[in-house]
Amino acid sequence: MRATPFALAGWVLLLAVAWAWGLTLPAGDLHLGAMPLYGRWDLVPAWRLAAPVAVGAAAVLVLPALAARWPWRRLLAAFAVTAVAWSLALAAADGSDGFADIGQAYGRHAGLVDERGGPAAFLRTYVEHQDAVPVHLQAHPPGLVLTLWASARLGPAGAGWESALAMVGVAAAAVAVLVIARDVVSQRFARAAAPFVVLAPAAVWHTNADVVFGGLALTGVALVVLATGRSGPARWAAAGGAVFGLALLFAYGVALLALPIAAVALWRRRPAVLAAAAGAGAVVVALPLLWGFWWLDGLAATRVQYHAGVGADRPYAYFLLANLAVFALATGPATAAGLARLRDRRAWLVVGSGLAAVLVADLSGLSSAETERIWQPFMPLVLLAGAALAPSRRWLIVQVAVAVVLQGALRSPW
């Protein structure tokens, strides 16, 4: 394909410009240590990369054949398991530090619920105390903190439980986007895309809370998309809307995943399904009002805190470009090549809506850096573009190689 070399050249150029431009800016304004990524460059011993190399190599050999031959439900289960195995193998290269992020960012602050007088009081005062809580709580609704507080009271707690939540998110996201691809495009397309959805460099950052948010939100998207199809039960619209509404109580940014829902529903001329999903989602989002928390007030407070903190230092113009460079690196060169080759209009309906969500997030100015983590919920939709490259294993090898190099050279909290 003639477009492929240009796509790869553009991918490299985007990364190079983001790196070079960043070097001209004051380091104190960027708050980065591994331009344009968050963290620092620090090589790990080669032996610690044995697990991701082994898992990645085995997956490259096996996944294309499974995608082509296995029954659909078995395929979904196998690829969900592989997505988890690939994520865990990469995280293991960092040792115990590779599984600590959710606990550091959220779990250790679950005690605030009791300090405020219980979940009702915590919700009622959540917005007014935004300037007195850690940065991750400033940037998100209270859903995850309350979940970790409740789970600790019921029994499951600690790094193992938090990592399990992340892996459920990883598996759910992979299954959800493949279900969406099959329903909107075709089963053949979904099968071709499956190995690329799993074996992405994005898995380097798969032990953070954003994969939990993404898995939950994409599950809601998949249910609504299925409801827009002629064979989809109408009740799935309400179920999908409710799940999506629940995801909004965990992360404000996943609201942009309403774009693929709207795109598919309007393309299929199913406004009633869209309305049912929106109604169910609105009910779930409004439910915490019973205890004094309103989602829009939380979003407004988050904007204030963001622009009062690191957002005030990081230059908007630079991160318009750098965010996209980081997204390109996380999705890998194969995705760039796949986008250049993708011709199916129905595929573009799904992949394009994922790209639209990224563009809106970028223009919003609320995603200045750290998009390797923040944009995890959008990445699986765009990774579907890899279907245009199938059945080539060479591109999968490239994706695995980029992921292993990143894991071996970059130290980040995620």
Per-residue pLDDT tens digits for 377-409:
999 999 999 999 988 899 999 999 999 999 999
Lowest mean pLDDT: which of 101-115, 164-178, 252-266? Answer: 101-115
Tell me what pLDDT residue 81 has: 98
Is 390 or 315 the better-scoring residue by pLDDT? Answer: 315
What secondary structure letter does DSSP report for 155?
S
Tell me what pLDDT residue 138 has: 86
Percent of the chain with pLDDT over 90: 81
Taking the C-alpha atoms of residue 142 and residue 146, their distance in angstroms, rounded to an integer, is: 6
Tell me what pLDDT residue 12 has: 97
Please name the residue that has the structure tokens 């829009």: 296
- Is it the case that residue 84 has pLDDT exceeding 80? yes
pTM for the complete prediction? 0.95
- Is it the case that residue 358 has pLDDT exceeding 90? yes
From the number of C-beta atoms within 10 Å of its C-beta (0-12, 13-18, 19+), residue 134 rates as: middle
The DSSP H or E segment spanning 411 is strand 410-411
Please name the residue that has the structure tokens 């992979």: 174
Provide the phi-psi class of 412: left if phi over 0, else alpha when psi is between -120 and 50, else beta: beta
Sign of the C-alpha dihedral computed for residues 135, 141, 145 and 148 taken in this order: negative
Taking the C-alpha atoms of residue 299 and residue 256, their distance in angstroms, rounded to an integer, is: 14
pLDDT digits (tens, 9 = 90+) for 130-168: 877 788 788 899 999 999 999 999 888 788 999 999 999
Tell me what pLDDT residue 65 has: 95
Half-sphere exposure of 186 (CA within 13 A, CB side): 8
Tell me what pLDDT residue 232 has: 65
Lowest mean pLDDT: which of 34-38, 284-288, 333-337, 347-351? Answer: 34-38
Query: How is the chain split into domains, by residue range?
Result: 41-315+395-409
Range 224-239 average pLDDT:
87
**Mean pLDDT of all residues belonging to the chain:** 94
Tell me what pLDDT residue 297 has: 95
Taking the C-alpha atoms of residue 240 and residue 176, their distance in angstroms, rounded to an integer, is: 11
Range 341-348 average pLDDT:
96
Percent of the chain with pLDDT over 70: 99
Tell me what pLDDT residue 231 has: 63
Tell me what pLDDT residue 72 has: 97
- Is it the case that residue 309 has pLDDT exceeding 80? no
Tell me what pLDDT residue 246 has: 98
Tokens of 281: 């989602």
In this prediction, residue 30 has a pLDDT band, given cuts at 50, 70 and 90, of confident
Tell me what pLDDT residue 129 has: 83
Tell me what pLDDT residue 162 has: 92
- Is it the case that residue 11 has pLDDT exceeding 80? yes
Is residue 350 within 8 Å of residue 181, measured between CB atoms? yes
Please name the residue that has the structure tokens 């599984």: 99
Range 7-31 average pLDDT:
93
